[in-house]
Structure 1
Amino acid sequence: MYEENVEAIERRGTSTFQSEDVDEARSIGSKIYYPHEVRVLGDERKFQMRMTAATIGPVVLGRLDYSTEVEIYTNELKDAYQVNIPMRGELMTGSGRARTTATPHRAAVYRCDQRTVLRGWASPYPTPVLALKIDRHALEEQLADRLGIAVADPIIFDVDFDLDTVVGRQWLSLVEGLSHQLDSPEALALHPIVAAPMAECLMSGLLVAAEHDYRSRLYAPAPALPGLVRMAVDYMEAHAQEPITVTRLARQVGASVRALQVGFQTSLGTTPMRHLKLIRLQRARKELLTSDPSVTGVTEVAQRWGFLHPGRFAGEYKAAFGSSPSEDLRTVPFR
């Protein structure tokens, strides 16, 4: 029965699970979140897991509770980031070597490249937890779009996320509002038209409110691009699949090649053609992440975006994004 409910989650539904069997509880949690181990520390006779979960775009939001103390641990999360927020009580937890005690005022953020451990739900004060699983590619793409750069390495989040700051409280309010819709299979937040912008708000809010290695850059004022550079970038974005030379580009914006090159170097720290290559790499990556590998091949996508040498494309792709084209093509996208 629970397998049908898990499939409902994957179809963008909402479902509630309840189990008194440790193995079944572990199987449910592993299917919806990550493969993990569960060790019962409290009274095994009282063991029960309860979870209500739903998918909102690239985000899985669940309310998780155990009736007795347990310890949960995972290997590297790899394809997702995680945020856990106790609704009351405490949760001793960690990401990699970093440790914290999560509370309703301090969430825990888990990096995609680290192992995790959670210990809580001890009597007499069980700890219901709001658990958010955020697709790695979606979050990193959100960050890249905000900063106008390629994000090749995992985002290095601090495990502690202060929810008592102004932005922390605002983000928590959004999460709690969505959690109230978990009990409705026809929740507005699950509608495809609403889910996409809602997920974007969740991801953007996390990037702004939680501490990580790019956060200061999100708060730094973005320098305005000179007019000719802005026009050139807009043209490249609109015509990325077409043959573009620096001469053609300069003609389009009404500037000399030299002026265009100086403008790009001064404003973006690169050349026009390198920036065009980055745009094409990003377009190729987006296509690979959303394509069916049984229908689409890496070489086909590479050639579509102007990369005629497969080996060179693979090397430049991995240098930009930290994964190979074939790995991203095999990644199952959130739909």
Structure 2
Amino acid sequence: MGGRLFYPHSVEVLGDQQSFGIHLDAAELGPVTMGWLSYDTEVEIETGELQDWYQVNVPVSGRLKTSSGADRIIATPSCAAVYRADRGSVLQGWGQETRRILGMKIERRAVEEQLALLLGRPIRNPIAFDLALDITTGHGQQWWSVMQALSVQLRDTDALFRHPLLLAPLTQSVIVSLLLASRHDYSEQLAATVAPACPAAVEHAKQYIEAHADEPLTALEIAGAVGVSLRGLQHGFQTSLQTTPMRYLRDLRLRKVRGDLLAADPETAGVAEIAYRWGFNHLGRFAGQYREMFGESPSAALRAITSR
């Protein structure tokens, strides 16, 4: 079962043979597969090279002895394990000691595409991730907070994060935050300063956003369409427009919502329906943003038809 969702592997039972059992609860979210995995007794799992995937494992209690190639660590609730695509892996634990781990498998293509867009150049070789990732402070802690929030909704097929306008930006955030939180052979390049995109590139990006506002856009996709790095695009928007690409998109979608509200019949349409259509899944936050921009509530705009 685990091999079908994650990787082909061998399992050696180190504990009580009679107690052996596996428990797996996983969901596919675009290029990301997340799942809870546990065994009822101590086992050792060995995989070959992961090849087309990167993997992250986090025990929620106890310890997991693990390796990626020659690198070895003990993963714990404060230290995640990040596995390289060009190495095999070994995991030893479970039973009463390890309980469960949260595993995340990410398409290598998706990770390297996101890194290429961040840097503004192609990635030729597998990313050499450090095996250990501290998830108690800084970016590591922030990344882990996002993973925990997602993990509690894995069984909910109607969860808002599965909405098409939300899923792509969410999975992109998972990947980009991992690239920024972990150590690897591109970390120094990601930390280096970059020049802002030129005004012509910013204008091109604005036109692209306006033409695709009803699609699940991400900042990386916009940067790729314009032909600049993500960081260059962000700096360009800040320099030219004093905003970010995603805030520009949000404000444009708010204006689209207002147009739909003013044109809608309040007897047959609702604020939530229209807001959700444009990717606003948190109604309280949406209502605050709408009021800040237009000086009235969304419901007031919807009722305005009765006074026209």
Asked whether the two chains share a fold, i.e. TM above 0.5, the reply is: yes
Q: Which residue of 2 aligns with 1:104?
A: 77
Given that residues 71 and 118 in structure 1 are in contact (C-alpha distance below 8 angstroms), is that contact kept between their aligned partners in structure 2? yes
| 1:223 correspondence with 2:195 | yes
Q: Which residue of 2 aligns with 1:146?
A: 118
How do residues 39-118 of structure 1 correspond to structure 2 at under 5 angstroms? 39-118=12-91
CA RMSD of aligned residues (A): 2.1
Given that residues 56 and 198 in structure 1 are in contact (C-alpha distance below 8 angstroms), is that contact kept between their aligned partners in structure 2? no
Q: Percent identity?
A: 44
How do residues 306-317 of structure 1 correspond to structure 2 at under 5 angstroms? none
How do residues 155-304 of structure 1 correspond to structure 2 at under 5 angstroms? 155-224=127-196
Taking structure 2 as the reference length, what is the TM-score of the superposition? 0.64
Taking structure 1 as the reference length, what is the TM-score of the superposition? 0.59
Residue 103 of structure 2 is aligned with which of 131, 143, 147? 131
- How far the C-alpha of 1:204 sits from its partner, in A, is 0.5
Amino acid aligned to 1:137: R
Given that residues 68 and 126 in structure 1 are in contact (C-alpha distance below 8 angstroms), is that contact kept between their aligned partners in structure 2? no
- Helix, strand or coil at the partner of 2:126: coil
- Helix, strand or coil at the partner of 1:158: coil
Given that residues 57 and 192 in structure 1 are in contact (C-alpha distance below 8 angstroms), is that contact kept between their aligned partners in structure 2? no
In structure 2, C-alpha distance between the alignment counterparts of 1:212 and 1:169, rounded to whole Å: 17
- Deviation readout 1:245-285 (Å, 9 max, x if unpaired): xxxxxxxxxxxxxxxxxxxxxxxxxxxxxxxxxxxxxxxxx
In structure 1, C-alpha distance between the alignment counterparts of 2:124 and 2:42, rounded to whole Å: 38
In structure 2, C-alpha distance between the alignment counterparts of 1:191 and 1:49, rounded to whole Å: 31
- How far the C-alpha of 1:216 sits from its partner, in A, is 1.5
Amino acid aligned to 2:134: D
- Deviation readout 1:287-308 (Å, 9 max, x if unpaired): xxxxxxxxxxxxxxxxxxxxxx
In structure 2, C-alpha distance between the alignment counterparts of 1:137 and 1:183, rounded to whole Å: 26
Q: 1:126 to 1:100 in 2, by over 3 A?
A: closer
Given that residues 64 and 98 in structure 2 are in contact (C-alpha distance below 8 angstroms), is that contact kept between their aligned partners in structure 1? no
- How far the C-alpha of 1:226 sits from its partner, in A, is 6.1
In structure 2, C-alpha distance between the alignment counterparts of 1:114 and 1:29, rounded to whole Å: 19
In structure 1, C-alpha distance between the alignment counterparts of 2:118 and 2:98, rounded to whole Å: 39
- Deviation readout 1:178-211 (Å, 9 max, x if unpaired): 0000132322223333221110010000000000
Q: Which residue of 1 aligns with 2:258?
A: none
Q: Which residue of 2 aligns with 1:292?
A: none
Q: Which residue of 2 aligns with 1:262?
A: none
What is the aligned length?
207
Given that residues 27 and 155 in structure 2 are in contact (C-alpha distance below 8 angstroms), is that contact kept between their aligned partners in structure 1? no
Structure 1 unaligned regions, length at least 5: 1-27, 239-335
Given that residues 50 and 86 in structure 2 are in contact (C-alpha distance below 8 angstroms), is that contact kept between their aligned partners in structure 1? yes
